[in-house]
Amino acid sequence: MQYHLNGYRTGDPAISPAVDRPAARDAVDVLIVGCGPAGLTLAAQLSCFADITTRIVDRKAGPLEVGQADGIACRSMEMFEAFGFAEKVAKEAYWVNEVAFWRPDAGTGQIARADRILDTEEGLSEFPHVILNQARVHDFYLEHMRNGPARLSPDYNLALVSLTRTTDADHPVEAVFDRLDAPGTQETVRARFVIGCDGARSTVRAQMGHRLKGEAARQLWGVMDILAVTDFPDIRLKCAIQSADQGSLLIIPREGGYMVRMYIELDSLRGDERPADRNLTADALVAKARAILSPHRLEVREVAWWSAYEIGQRVCDGFDDVPDGARGARVPRIFIAGDACHTHSPKAGQGMNVSMADAFNLGWKLAAVLRGQAHPALLDSYSNERRAKAQELIDFDRDMARLFSEKPKSAAEAARFQAYFRKHGRYTAGVETRYAPSALTADDTHQGLAPGLPIGMRFHSAPVIRLADARPMELAHVAKADGRWRLFTFAGRGDDGARGSATARLCEALSNLIEPAAPDALLDLRAVFQQPHRDLGIERMPPLLLPRKGRYGLIDYEKIFAADPRDGRNIYTLRQIDRENGAMVLVRPDQHVAALLPFGDMPALRAFLDRSPLILPRRA
Amino acid sequence: MQYHLNGYRTGDPAISPAVDRPAARDAVDVLIVGCGPAGLTLAAQLSCFADITTRIVDRKAGPLEVGQADGIACRSMEMFEAFGFAEKVAKEAYWVNEVAFWRPDAGTGQIARADRILDTEEGLSEFPHVILNQARVHDFYLEHMRNGPARLSPDYNLALVSLTRTTDADHPVEAVFDRLDAPGTQETVRARFVIGCDGARSTVRAQMGHRLKGEAARQLWGVMDILAVTDFPDIRLKCAIQSADQGSLLIIPREGGYMVRMYIELDSLRGDERPADRNLTADALVAKARAILSPHRLEVREVAWWSAYEIGQRVCDGFDDVPDGARGARVPRIFIAGDACHTHSPKAGQGMNVSMADAFNLGWKLAAVLRGQAHPALLDSYSNERRAKAQELIDFDRDMARLFSEKPKSAAEAARFQAYFRKHGRYTAGVETRYAPSALTADDTHQGLAPGLPIGMRFHSAPVIRLADARPMELAHVAKADGRWRLFTFAGRGDDGARGSATARLCEALSNLIEPAAPDALLDLRAVFQQPHRDLGIERMPPLLLPRKGRYGLIDYEKIFAADPRDGRNIYTLRQIDRENGAMVLVRPDQHVAALLPFGDMPALRAFLDRSPLILPRRA
Ligand SMILES: Cc1cc2nc3c(=O)[nH]c(=O)nc-3n(C[C@H](O)[C@H](O)[C@H](O)COP(=O)(O)OP(=O)(O)OC[C@H]3O[C@@H](n4cnc5c(N)ncnc54)[C@H](O)[C@@H]3O)c2cc1C
Ligand SMILES: Cc1cc2nc3c(=O)[nH]c(=O)nc-3n(C[C@H](O)[C@H](O)[C@H](O)COP(=O)(O)OP(=O)(O)OC[C@H]3O[C@@H](n4cnc5c(N)ncnc54)[C@H](O)[C@@H]3O)c2cc1C
């Protein structure tokens, strides 16, 4: 954390100085409808920028307190780190370390533990896969928003009823809300952009005339969070249990050491039947869980929350208000994100994670356009990138749901499910998302410079030593959710940054390419060297790596790193970076690798930037 | 973190349910005078107990905002972990990774880097040595107190003027305060115990008739927290700089990446001269620092805080109100802790740390006596244990201060300072404190069972795998600041906890020794096994290791651990625990090892408990 740049400030450094401006209410830059994980991620991202006015509203009367999703993938933890609260989640959450598989024993027919595997493969992320009530994730976002310069917090009791495009050049979208706390009254908000993060029954989606497409599966599932006493030995492990003839159960141990979530397979829905028609009760769920776990005992002492739902893999035909034919001809003004775009079963724990990832993809783009740092064309990439991801998710979920519900007729079939589960650990961890080549993502011409940092995928962190204070740390943790692009330079052999070195030449060329007036406000440069850190000298480094900042012109000492020479910790080895020639890695504000480029190849960097919608203040 | 035991609760689990009782004001169990690190540690400890009434007051008008101490030793981080906020400190703080030594170059006479060493030897603690403004440490304690069941917060503007023993049997100490916010008015508080955490000029100490004894050294030092621009390359490293003829300087980089603290040697005081007589200014300190750092540039842009003081190594002749002759004949009612007991230079960064350790030693003892879990004789041990520590600190500081101020006439002399510094890394890390054998601390008869867990020293953590959820974690992190004693059992070879095993027999014997009515409320049992965790079965473990708790009788699954088999992480190897026979380790509520005992040796455990002032509800 860097702070005190513009003078010593008392108190919590996570609380930014407040902007001196009345909160915008009836005309804003961005209006977010819905305070779920998608809406809050977006609001948290925008709340970092003092110059953007945002409102976020929800029809609910207040924040979520119980239930809904709880799985937090490694990739989401990496994003939380960028927002500054990963360690809070890690502290409260249950950590998923292993998964147990239970199946009918060939002899007795009773369930028995068939296998037990690592949940997340070693080295996939520096963060664990954890489980925490969605409500607490909301709390951390809300705190982040409150601490931002605009002291953003949601307005509740506002239900969106209509959305219209107007001719107002500044705020071309008008939203009308019913005020649920004052029945009969309405409120109108005009906005430059409206984002529907309003869940599976999205009004914003309906107002755009879009709809979810896909199969309406007929499988009914129940979920409950319980406090119970049991002699089932793996109650504190994530378990997939397939019984001989009572159906399937997924156990997700929860935070706090006592609570457990169970996902329970129920009978298929028939005809037009809806989940509500079944008159399901918590007791019925408990009875079913007991039957599946038998002969183990299950005494439920409290049902903290429960729900029943039908699984359907569906995806929306459009993620913004630009028809495919008009793409490029007009600027999208209305977007949807999260469950408004895609619905799927909760079993792979993707609901909250993919919704947040949607918003993380969109947030920086909106900010860049609003702040004049990118052409509006940038906004088209949201739909391109996230629709592909949604389709992939739906396909994955369909396979997973089918395998999970199938009665394992043979050990081979059961083993097949387990193999699928294992294979897709990377996918469910959220680290497999790969954006296709585009104006924002280079093709694989230079992928060979660092095969361990795949272009289009999230920048996979690795340990380094910060030069100035010899601190061992994770390199990707410098990538805060601040809307900045990052250029990581990995020096080639022998380069020590001193005058005449390739790094020194690169810094000079970069100063000539980009206007250095507001040093590193737009492009955050970070240099990594191969030498042991004690062999490098900060006094020999180029000035661009020691930028002067803030009203005092203080030196930022956190730009330069050395590889950590300890066993298994060297970033050059871990990410297969070309040790001979080095490499430049350009990383997007959402932490995805935009491009790998030959070290010091300024024409290539310039070409990439010229093709992109970014507006960087360049030198003539 | 364990929570939701008595039912699902929404919101932040760190906030305990509030007790339904008006805050006590004029008659309390414990009155703490002074809101420095000592007073706040004590208040934080007592705030955990809903059945103890506490008040904490300070003459100041509000919380500290700037200045004073900043060094946080590894041992203090371990204690913060017990209070639940180590990760917050780690996040904000500067991490001291290395120390650089600068001395005059033999040729030029200008300062040059002579060496650079690791600050904290590998494996000394699972926590780093960090630097953070004392005010932030106060903030974290205040938050902890506010979140406790009694929602404790300090009363400011109250200056203690007198303290008298009365004949009131319940509240035998009466304290009178001047109300600084209402001049001319006073407030009286009666208490069972009063603790003077009121700093170097302690009124409580004076009221007991005690005084500080020792040399009044005449060395004057200045300290300043600055935002500056410099070309001194090691400005983000802790540096000890001895110049040829301008004196010495200690650089302590500070949190946030920009601020730096400098300790500067000034001229000796003459005769009756006091620091204030010098009319020192911040400018004078800056000028002096410049001279020492020359030829490096130092442009100071802001002085966030500065101070000047005389170094004196002094220790109080009594830590409570019982004269040495009357020890044992009466119960101490008034205590002092922290700077009220000992003063010394800030160079080894001990001020805040030792003060907190004083209070951590006293807090659980007061709680145990107030809650009827120990005989009042327990309170005598505070003075015994902490006076010895204070004397050791004073001696250490005297040597350190002398070495630091000596002009290094030769390279050999300079190297001597550096060697001393290195050797005493363990001491300054706070992990060397060792309480002498007493009713609370066994002698070394059984030390051979685990040479790596020295009796009387803090229980040195090591990695383990929690059985129920396969979570890798630090064993000592189960030791929260909850006033409980802990019995760690390290199983011998082949013991898997199943029926007939040594662990099973031990658990049975323990159930016979201690009343199991309130399972583990007093003695927190934790079992560690040698086998890989997947070779152990929770279903085979004795019931005492799966205690039923709370209003629902839920099972606590966090009692059983396996050694972590990975390289360099096996607790049996790291702490040299007897693999053949195992060992029992009894740990005090302040995390110091009370006793090592042969595995399953109940007579030895009973003998230790019988000799101690503890009152455990025993079976007949
Ligand atoms: C009842 C329920 C149970 C769930 N259970 C699980 C589970 O067990 N496991 C799992 O993985 N996932 C579960 N999910 C899904 C998971 O919570 C979602 O995937 C995730 O919350 C999606 O985030 P989102 O931000 O896109 O939408 P949501 O979290 O659904 O948030 C949408 C928000 O928009 C608001 N809103 C809707 N319409 C309007 C309107 N017209 N005007 C104003 N505000 C509006 C809603 O009140 C809501 O707060 C559940 C979801 C629900 C609703
Ligand atoms: C001005 C100053 C500068 C320091 N600078 C450094 C430094 O640079 N480096 C370093 O390592 N250490 C420094 N220290 C020392 C370090 O802060 C102490 O070692 C540490 O704070 C000791 O903690 P404590 O709780 O024992 O006492 P203190 O922190 O001194 O707290 C005592 C509290 O008691 C209150 N109090 C005193 N008398 C009364 C009364 N009669 N009635 C009510 N309240 C009263 C005071 O207002 C104060 O809040 C400094 C201390 C001071 C006071």
- Is the pLDDT higher at B428 or at B186? B186
Q: How far is A573 from chain B (nearest CA, A)?
A: 20
Are B328 and B464 found together in one domain? no
Q: What is the largest CA-CA distance in chain A?
A: 80
Q: Does residue B216 contact residue B204 with C-beta atoms inside 8 Å?
A: no
Any domain includes B350: yes
pLDDT of residue A408: 61
Same domain, B271 and B233: yes
Range name among B15-24, B363-372, B455-464, B528-537 with the lowest pLDDT average: B15-24
- pLDDT of B257: 97
State the pLDDT at residue A261: 97
Which one of A236, A237, A549 would you mutate to disrupt binding with B, by most B Cβ within 10 Å of its Cβ?
Answer: A236
Entry pTM: 0.96
Read off the amino acid at residue A492. Answer: G
> Within a domain: residue B561?
yes
Last residue of a domain, one of B255, B276, B311: B311
Least CB–CB distance from B236: residue in A237, A255, A557: A557
* Nearest-10 crossing angle of helices B502-513, B602-611: 30
Position B519 scores a pLDDT of 54
Whether B553 and A229 lie within 8 Å, measured CB to CB: yes
Q: Are residues B187 and B42 in the same domain?
A: yes
Atom of ligand 1 at shortest range from CA of A338: 26
A501 ligand 1 Cβ < 6 A: no
Q: What is the pLDDT of residues A77-134, one digit of tens each?
A: 999 999 999 999 999 999 999 999 999 998 999 999 999 999 988 899 999 999 999 9
Residues B603 and B496 in one domain: yes
* Tally of structural domains, chain B: 3
**Of A258, A293, A311, which residue constitutes the final position of a domain?**
A311
Which CATH number characterizes residue A275's domain?
3.30.9.10
Tell me if B555 and A7 make a contact (CB, 8 A cut-off).
Answer: no
State the nearest Cα–Cα gap between B500 and chain A, in angstroms.
Answer: 20
- Comparing alpha-carbon positions, the chain B residue that sits nearest to A257 is B2
Ligand nearest to the CA of A356: 1
Q: How far is B383 from chain A (nearest CA, A)?
A: 35
More confident position, B67 or B405 = B67
User: In terms of domains, do B492 and B581 share one?
Assistant: yes
Distance B33 CA to ligand 2 centre (A): 12
In a domain, B439, yes or no: no
Find the closest chain A residue to B552 by CA distance: A301
Which residue reads 């399972």 in tokens?
Answer: B519
Average pLDDT, integer, range B379-393: 94
Interface test with B, best of A1, A2, A3, A4 (most B CBs within 10 A): A4
Report phi then psi at B107, rounded to 5: -80, -65
B418 C-beta closer than 6 A to ligand 2:
no
Res. B24: pLDDT tops 90 = no
Q: How far is the CA of B306 from the centre of ligand 1 (A)?
A: 53
Residue B395: the pLDDT is 85
Here the ipTM equals: 0.95
Does residue A154's CB lie within 6 angstroms of at least one atom of ligand 1?
A: no
Residue of B68, B87, B239, B258 to mutate, testing the A interface (most A Cβ within 10 Å of its Cβ) = B258
Among A583, A576, A615, A619, smallest CA distance to A599 is for A583
- End residue of a domain, out of B255, B284, B311: B311
Pick the residue whose CA is nearest to atom 3 on ligand 2.
Answer: B68
Q: Are residues B271 and B324 in the same domain?
A: no
In a domain, B177, yes or no: yes
The strand pairing partners of B57, in sequence order, are: B33, B155
Q: Is the CB of B199 under 6 A from ligand 2?
A: yes
CB contact under 8 A, A1 and B92: yes
> Which pLDDT band, with edges at 50, 70 and 90, does B227 fall under?
very high
Torsion of CA B358, B360, B362, B367, to 10 degrees: 170
Q: Are residues B291 and B344 in the same domain?
A: no
CA A378 to chain centre: 19
Whether B17 maps to a domain, the answer reads no
pLDDT value at residue B518: 54
Note the ligand closest to the C-alpha atom of A66.
1
Query: Does residue A223 share a domain with residue A194?
Result: no
Q: What is the mean pLDDT of each run of 10 residues along chain A (620 residues)?
A: 92 90 86 98 97 97 91 97 98 96 92 92 95 97 96 97 95 98 97 97 97 78 96 97 92 97 86 79 96 97 92 89 93 97 80 96 98 95 95 84 68 73 80 95 97 98 98 98 96 97 95 69 92 97 94 97 96 98 98 98 93 76
Burial of B270 (0-12, 13-18, 19+ CB in 10 A): exposed
CA distance B506 to B45: 31
Residue among B135, B235, B538 minimizing CB distance to A233? B538
Do A124 and A136 lie in one domain? The reply is no
Domain match, B584 and B461 both: yes
Is ligand 1 within 6 A of the CB of residue A203?
Answer: yes
Mean confidence (pLDDT) of chain B: 92
Considering Cα of B590, then B593, then B597, then B598, what sign does the dihedral take? positive
Q: What pLDDT score does B271 carry?
A: 76
> In chain B, what residues touch A225 (CB-CB under 8 Å)?
8
Question: CA dihedral in degrees (B432, B437, B443, B447; nearest 10)?
Answer: -10
Residue B164 near residue B321, CB atoms below 8 Å: no
Give all strands (DSSP E) within B284-336, no chain letters.
298-310, 314-316, 334-336
Report yes or no on B87 lying in a domain: no
Domain, as residue range, for A463: 447-611
Does B462 have pLDDT greater than 70?
yes
For position A193, what pLDDT does the model report? Answer: 98
Looking at the predicted structure, is the pLDDT value of residue B447 above 90?
Answer: yes
B286's enclosing H/E stretch is helix B282-293
Question: Out of A2, A12, A236, whose CB is closest to B557?
Answer: A236
Please provide the DSSP assignment of B383-445 as one string.
HHHHHHHHHHHHHHHHHHHHHHHS---SHHHHHHHHHHHHHTHHHHTT----PPSSSSS--GG
In a domain, B1, yes or no: no
pLDDT, tens digit (0-9, with 9 covering 90-100), for B241-285: 999 999 999 999 999 999 999 999 888 777 777 777 788 999 999
Question: Using the beta-carbon criterion (under 8 Å), do A1 and B253 form an inter-chain contact?
Answer: no
What percentage of chain B has pLDDT greater than the value 70? Answer: 96
Nearest residue of A to residue B229 by CA position?
Answer: A554
Minimum Cα–Cα distance from B116: chain A residue? A534
Q: Tell me the average pLDDT across B547-571.
A: 96
Residues B502 and B520 in one domain: yes
Contact yes or no for A554 and B301 at CB 8 A: yes
CATH code assigned at A582: 3.40.30.20
Q: Is residue B432 part of a domain?
A: no
State the ligand closest to the CA atom of B223. Answer: 2
Q: Name the residue of B352, B356, B360, B361 whose CB sits within 8 Å of the most ligand 2 atoms, as the mutation to test its pocket.
A: B352
Residues B475 and B543 both lie in one domain: yes
The neighbour count for residue A24, using CB atoms within 10 Å, is: 15
DSSP label of B38 = H
- Classified as helix, coil or strand, A305 is strand
Identify the sign of the CA torsion A125, A129, A132, A134.
Answer: positive
Residues of A in contact with B13 (CB under 8 A): 92, 255-256
Counting one residue from A and one from B, how many pairs have CB atoms under 8 Å apart? 165
Kindly give the number of the ligand 2 atom that is closest to the alpha carbon of B64.
49
Query: Does A472 sit within 8 Å of B97, measured CB to CB?
Result: yes
Instruction: Indicate which CATH number applies to the domain containing B40.
Output: 3.50.50.60
How many angstroms does the Cα of residue B35 sit away from the middle of ligand 2? 8
Cα(B49) to centroid of ligand 2, in Å?
26
